[in-house]
Every structure is written in C-alpha cells, then in structure tokens.
Amino acid sequence: MKRPELDRPVLLDVQGITRLYGPGKGCEELDLRLHAGEVLGIVGESGSGKSTLLRVLAGLEAPDAGRVVYHRAADDALDLYAIGEARRRALLRLEWGLVHQNPRDGLRMGVSAGANVGERLMALGQRHYGQLRAAGQDWMTQVELDPARIDDAPRTFSGGMQQRLQIARTLVTRPRLVFMDEPTGGLDVSVQARLLDMLRTLVRQLGLSVVLVTHDLAVARLLAHRLLVMRRGRVVEAGLTDQILDDPQHAYTQLLVSSVLTP
Ligand SMILES: Nc1ncnc2c1ncn2[C@@H]1O[C@H](COP(=O)(O)OP(=O)(O)OP(=O)(O)O)[C@@H](O)[C@H]1O
C-alpha cells in the first residue's frame, strides 16, 4: 500500500543516535526519518529506551553520538545539537510541542486553564486579551472541555481533563512537530478510550507530524502510520503499523503482539 505521508518532505532526519546509561540501557545507533504529516510510533516494553530516544529527539538530552537534523524548510536544516541550548529551547517553545504522560509536567497548575492555553500564544507574540481568551475557549471546546471553566485552575480538573488541557496548550500554536510520551498512560481505561478518539481526530484534522512513544499497541494501532519496535535500546523491527502488528517478523515483536492478544 502506498503511503502518501512518505512522499512528503522529511521533517526530522535522525542518524546514528546513541545515548547509553549502561549496556542496553538507553538507545543505540538509531536511525529514523519522520515525514511531514506522519505519525511515527515508537513501541517496546518498559525500559527499552523509548523515552530516552524521545528526549534526544526533542532536544532535551544530548546524545553521546549521532545527529538529529530538523528540516524547517527545503533550504533550512538545523543540526539540533550543533545549535545552542537557547535555540533548542526556543524551538520547543515556538515550533514544536511536547505532550507529557503526566499532565502536571506540561501544565502550569497554579494559573487558569485559559492562561495555560494562552501562554504559548503569547510566546509567539500575541498580546490581545480578547483574542487570547477566545483562543482559550475555542481550544477548550476542541478538546471537549467546558469553555465555561476557562478561569478554573487545572488542579480542579480530573486527570483526563488535565490531559485534554495539556493537549490544547500544546496544539494551540499549531506546532510543526509534536512529541508525545505515553499520552494516554496513567488514565482509567474508559477515559483513555475517549482521549484516544479525540487525539486521533485532532491528528487527522490538523495533519500533525508526531513522534509518539507508547508501550500500548492499541494506542499505536489507532494513531501511528509507521512503527519502530525497540528492545534494549535498539530497533528490532520497523515498518507500516498494520504490517507490523498483523504480521510481525521479529520474535520479540511477535511476543509483544501475542501478549496483547492473549487475555
Ligand atoms: N537519567 C537516567 N539515568 C540512568 N539510567 C537511566 C536514565 N534514564 C533512563 N535510564 C535507564 O535507561 C533504560 C531505558 O529507559 P527509558 O525510560 O528510555 O525506557 P522506556 O522504554 O521509555 O521505559 P518506560 O516505558 O518504563 O518509561 C532503563 O533501563 C532506565 O532505567
């Protein structure tokens, strides 16, 4: 099957990334490419190195070796760890988005829901109070939160609602690239299902480019176009999501898939 995403320009070109804390702990000699409009899932059991890889890709942790190149435009490529830390941080604030597993890591718990959404727009230079507030209400509606709660602090929200707010805060600036680390983890199963449904709709509507880390193959199945399967810091299998989940080739992937299917 032809995947239109693979014809689009490459946004992220990752070559030979190694970041090891000990043998098999972290990620090792990893290559990947993310195309615009593509959702790339990184799956594997706990400790396989998914979050380490995500931190390196998002500019939060320098690799021991390798390069992460971000193609902002056809003639504008940034080598993430050759530019300074300030520019890396600015990218994350202005052009990229990061959705943490724990919404408390991505939200400012002491300020209102509306301010959480508006803050990232202000970082882009928007100052008009009415417009910031309207954007806050609009995005709360998009993530199925009651816009009447715009002045409430996130700590008065349930875990699922906080995660919706974190997603609104991340997407309000229309980031070109979004990193998600177990976005539905830590929530009740019924809350997860609704959140996943909403995320899938947003990813499609906005044509988001996403690197998604999850140990949950059902999440990967619903959201990702392609998968990388990691084990002990290395990629053991890569390919289209349906192919990998329906016909896994590597023994480790077969085990991962069968342990999900077996009750
Ligand atoms: N800052 C650190 N210092 C030392 N060891 C670390 C550090 N971060 C991760 N590790 C180790 O590296 C390995 C990979 O961890 P990582 O969090 O990337 O895996 P993961 O696949 O995301 O797992 P999980 O789903 O449990 O978060 C683990 O053995 C972990 O203990």
Region for 66 from its dihedrals, namely left if φ exceeds 0, alpha if ψ lies in -120 to 50, beta otherwise: left
The residue whose CA is least distant from atom 30 of ligand 1 is 47
Q: In this predicted structure, what is the pLDDT of residue 259?
A: 83
Q: In this predicted structure, what is the pLDDT of residue 263?
A: 45
CA distance linking residue 204 with residue 97, whole number of Å:
16
The residue whose CA is least distant from atom 5 of ligand 1 is 21
Whether the Cβ atoms of residue 152 and residue 107 lie closer than 8 Å to each other: no
Whether the Cβ atoms of residue 39 and residue 208 lie closer than 8 Å to each other: yes
Q: What DSSP letter does each residue of 96-114 carry, written as one string?
A: EEEE-SSHHHHS-TTS-HH
Say how many Å lie between the CA of residue 195 and the centre of ligand 1.
26
Q: In this predicted structure, what is the pLDDT of residue 101?
A: 93
Which atom belonging to ligand 1 lies closest to the Cα atom of 233?
A: 14
Which atom belonging to ligand 1 lies closest to the Cα atom of 51?
A: 22
Q: What is the ipTM of this complex?
A: 0.95
Q: In this predicted structure, what is the pLDDT of residue 4?
A: 61
Say how many Å lie between the CA of residue 256 and the centre of ligand 1.
19
CA distance linking residue 58 with residue 34, whole number of Å:
13
Q: In this predicted structure, what is the pLDDT of residue 65?
A: 98
Say how many Å lie between the CA of residue 46 and the centre of ligand 1.
8
Q: Give the pLDDT means over successive 10-residue stretches in the chain (263 positions).
A: 71 97 94 96 94 96 97 92 94 94 94 95 91 95 96 95 96 96 88 91 94 94 96 96 96 89 50
List of domains in the chain: 10-103+177-260 (3.40.50.300)
Q: Give whole-number Cα distances, 149 to 57, 108, 161, 214, in Å.
A: 35, 16, 11, 30
